[in-house]
């Protein structure tokens, strides 16, 4: 991230997030950088470690509210890092992020002291939702309700209302709306939306983003006097508050 970009991000930070520190321990550099950038855009302070030894060093010497921990790490695997930081009485919440998906591995991680578990490939919107859920358990992070115009989205219950009318959405439509609301009044490209809602391995050559935008429009805009979701020809989409 450039110096000018960091200045913009700093100016947009929520006061509730300004003192929240997150450590990402992930050896896939593009994944780590993508997560870090997204978390910084949400206003969190983020450190990154690309191997287990560096992850343990940072986790044991600096206070973090949350650690996002991969399991398949060089120099020291994630379960060993988790075991050692818990022995060292590190109190940070730990979200395991890994390609491993067997029940036994999930159980091992949770027994060693992990607080949540998300498998790859993942959608960044879901990762963000899990991060915020863990932070709320500590009494920090975003408030539970996002508001744009007359739309309200409750992060905890996933209830959506517009003008006091309940809106029923599928899980993917909900993640899409949440991402649009967090980026209100900003033009989002199809690639950005695909990566954040469907995950970094998503095939951006398909038209599924347009399909789900249309689904969301039918649920959110039809029957209301003002449209909120707009197409920017040749670029993407924007959720306009005014």
- What per-residue confidence (pLDDT) applies to 16? 45
With residue 7 as reference, give the H or E element that holds it.
helix 3-12
Q: Tell me: do 224 and 170 sit in the same domain.
A: yes
The residue among 137, 163, 194 that closes a domain is 137
Distance (Å) of CA 110 to CA 11, 79, 86, 128, 182: 37, 10, 12, 20, 30
**Which domain does 150 fall in, by range?**
145-239
Q: Tell me: do 181 and 117 sit in the same domain.
A: no
**Is it the case that residue 14 has pLDDT exceeding 50?**
no
Q: Tell me: do 113 and 149 sit in the same domain.
A: no
We report the CATH number of the domain holding residue 126 as 3.40.50.2300
Q: Tell me: do 165 and 116 sit in the same domain.
A: no
More confident residue, 242 or 226: 226
- Starting at the edge strand that comes first in sequence, how are the strands of the sheet with 116-119 ordered? 45-49, 21-25, 66-69, 93-98, 116-119
Summarised one tens digit per residue, pLDDT across range 164-212 is 899 999 988 999 999 999 889 999 999 888 888 887 666 667 889 999 9
The residue among 137, 153, 178 that closes a domain is 137
Q: Tell me: do 29 and 129 sit in the same domain.
A: yes
Q: Tell me: do 8 and 124 sit in the same domain.
A: yes
Q: Tell me: do 63 and 153 sit in the same domain.
A: no
13: Cα separation from own chain's centroid: 15
Q: In total, how many domains does the chain have? A: 2
In this prediction, residues 13-27 reach a mean pLDDT of 73
CA–CA distance, 178 with 124 (Å, rounded to integer): 11
Two structure tokens written together for 78? 């994630």
Q: Tell me: do 160 and 130 sit in the same domain.
A: no
Q: Tell me: do 169 and 222 sit in the same domain.
A: yes
For 240, which DSSP code? -
The residue among 108, 137, 166 that closes a domain is 137
Q: Tell me: do 125 and 149 sit in the same domain.
A: no
The DSSP string of 105-158 is HHHHHHHTT-SEEEESS--HHHHHHHHHHHHHHTT-SS-SEEEETTEEEETTT-
């Amino acid at each position: 991230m450039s110096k000018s970009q960091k200045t913009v991000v700093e100016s947009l930070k929520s006061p509730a997030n300004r003192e929240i520190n997150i450590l990402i321990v992930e050896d896939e550099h593009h994944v780590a950088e993508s997560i870090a950038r997204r978390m910084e855009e949400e206003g969190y302070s983020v450190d990154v470690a690309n191997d287990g030894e560096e992850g343990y060093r940072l986790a044991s010497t600096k206070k973090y509210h949350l650690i996002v921990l991969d399991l398949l790490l060089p120099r020291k695997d994630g379960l060993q890092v988790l075991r050692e930081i818990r022995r060292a009485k590190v109190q940070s919440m730990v979200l395991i992020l890994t390609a491993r998906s067997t029940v036994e591995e999930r159980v091992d991680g949770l027994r060693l002291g992990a607080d949540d578990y998300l498998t790859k490939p993942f959608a960044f919107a879901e990762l963000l939702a899990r991060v915020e859920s863990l932070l709320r358990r500590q009494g920090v992070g975003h408030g539970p309700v996002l508001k744009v115009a007359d739309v309200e989205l409750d992060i905890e219950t996933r209830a959506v209302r517009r003008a006091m009318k309940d809106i029923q959405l599928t899980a993917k439509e909900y993640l899409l709306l949440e991402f649009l609301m967090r980026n209100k009044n900003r033009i989002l490209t199809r690639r950005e939306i695909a990566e954040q809602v469907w995950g970094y391995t998503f095939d951006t050559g398909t038209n599924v983003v347009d399909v789900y935008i249309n689904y969301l429009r039918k649920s959110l805009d039809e029957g209301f006097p003002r449209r909120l979701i707009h197409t920017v020809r040749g670029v993407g989409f924007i959720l306009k508050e005014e």
